[in-house]
Amino acid sequence: MSVLVTIASLSFLNTVFGQAASNMTFSQWQQYNSAWHMDYIDTLADERLDPIVNPNGVSGHFHHIIGGSRFGASYNGAEYKNAACTTCPIKADKSNYWMPKLFWINNGGSSFTPLSGGQRFYYFCSDLRPTKSSRLSLTG
């Protein structure tokens, strides 16, 4: 199982960091493997809100929302930082995270059952971007 986890981790890093991660050997990747993740985060709300796509309005889709208590219909980073509390295990993290709420359609669409699941948030502590001298120049 650890081999599958390692392959999945490398695949994830390649997706997130693109070319920088794909050019790494496994031993190089281990040097930059300073990361941690959060699991089992309590729910703040399940709402039809999306402050990015539908600011100050009702969204056409449903979200599962976790994080700081200042989440609202419009995005304001300064407001979010002033949250009184958070559902995240790291109490200093007043960020908000929202993801689609998934439902199972029953009886040809006459009713819906919410699907349960979890989320995992990764925090990477290393800068895996290429140095300035190794970046590809597009200007010729």
**Is the domain of 22 the same as that of 43?**
no
Enumerate residues 6+ apart whose C-beta is below 8 A from 9.
none
* Number of domains observed in the structure of the chain: 2
**Is the domain of 29 the same as that of 45?**
no
**Is the domain of 62 the same as that of 113?**
yes
Question: H or E segment at 9?
Answer: helix 2-17
Question: H or E segment at 22?
Answer: helix 19-22
Task: Report yes or no on 2 lying in a domain.
Answer: yes
Q: What is the pTM of this model?
A: 0.62
The pLDDT profile of the chain, 140 residues, written as one tens digit per residue, is: 333 333 344 444 444 454 455 566 666 665 666 677 778 788 999 999 999 999 999 999 999 999 999 999 998 888 888 899 999 888 888 888 899 988 899 988 889 898 887 788 777 766 655 555 444 444 54
